[in-house]
Amino acid sequence: MKGREEDGAAMVITSPANEKLKYARRVREGREPGWMFLEGDRLIEAYLEAGGGGGQAFHSPELGERARPLLETLESRGCVLWQTQEAVLATVSDTVSPQGVIVLAERPSSSFDEVFRSDGPLLLVGLDALQDPGNTGTIIRTAEAAGADAVFSLHGSVDLFAPKTLRSAMGSAFRLPIFCDLEPERLLALAADHHCLVVATDGRASTPYTDYDWRQPTLLLLGNEGSGIRPALLEGSDVRLSIPMKRPVESLNVATAAAVLLFEARRARA
C-alpha cells in the first residue's frame, strides 16, 4: 500500500507539479466531468459503504488507524494508490486540516426511470440557483432523511458534487438519486409527466405549509439564498406555500426552510 510499483520501487509523488496532482486539482475544481473529489476519512467511508470503488487515491506516507483499512478496501476495489509527500498532498487539499487521504472517484449516476417507477407518491426536491455548497449539501442530507425520492438541481446552481457540498451532504449524495444542471422547462415537464404538483416556497404566499396535503406526489422547489425562486418557476408552480414566522423575522436560511417543509411531508406521509 505504498503506491504504484514502477521499476521495482514504490513511487512517491514529491512535486506539486506532478501531472497526477494537476489532474486531481482539476477534479477538485469541477473541471473534469463525471468525477468527484473526496477528502476525509468519514466521507470516504460513506463512499465505500455505498459500494464505491475504482478511481485513484493519494495518501501521505504516515496513515492513521482509520485511514489504513480505507485504503486497503479501496485497493481491493480497483483503486490505484499513490503515496504522496504530506506537504505536497496539502497543496491539493480542499480542507483546512487535511487528513492525509484524497480519492478521485466517478460520480454516481441515476436514471429518471429509477426514480419515477416508485410505488408511492413521489416527493422530489428542486434547487433553483442555490449558491452555497453548505446549504446545498445540508438539503441533500435532509432530503434523504425525510424520505425524498430525488434531488434535481437547476442550471446556475452550485455543483452538487463539489467537495464542500459532498462534505455537507455527509454521504447522502452517494445514496440519493441526484440530477444536475437541468433547465427549468425540463424539470416542470418531468413533474407534469408524472403527475407531481409543483410546490414553490414563497414568503408572500397566503397558504401556510401545514395546509398543504403532502401525501400527494410533489415537487418541492427551493430558491436562491438571496432572490428566491425565479419568476418563471413561480408562475409554473401549482401551489405556493409560506412558513409563518414571528415578527420581525421575515425569512429562514434555505436549508432550515427545507428541513421544516420536508419533515412536515414526512410526518403527513407517515
Omega cis (within 30) before 248: yes
* pLDDT score at 213: 98
User: Residues 56, 104: contact at Cβ < 8 Å?
Assistant: yes
For residues 37 and 103, what is the distance between their CA atoms, to the nearest angstrom? 6
* pLDDT score at 3: 54
| Residues forming beta bridges with residue 218, ordered by sequence position | 123, 197
Query: What percentage of the chain reaches a pLDDT higher than 90?
Result: 87
**Residue 247 corresponds to which amino acid?**
R
Query: What is the rounded average pLDDT of the residues 122-144?
Result: 97
Question: What value does the mean pLDDT of the chain take?
Answer: 93
* pLDDT score at 10: 58
For residues 75 and 55, what is the distance between their CA atoms, to the nearest angstrom? 10
Residue 72 phi/psi, 5-degree rounding, is -65, -40
* pLDDT score at 6: 41
Half-sphere exposure of 81 (CA within 13 A, CB side): 22
CA distances from 13 to 8, 88, 94, 124 (A): 16, 8, 18, 44
pLDDT digits (tens, 9 = 90+) for 201-239: 998 899 999 999 999 999 999 999 989 999 999 999 999
Residue 64 has pLDDT above 60, yes or no: yes
| The model's pTM | 0.92
| pLDDT band (50, 70, 90) for residue 7 | very low
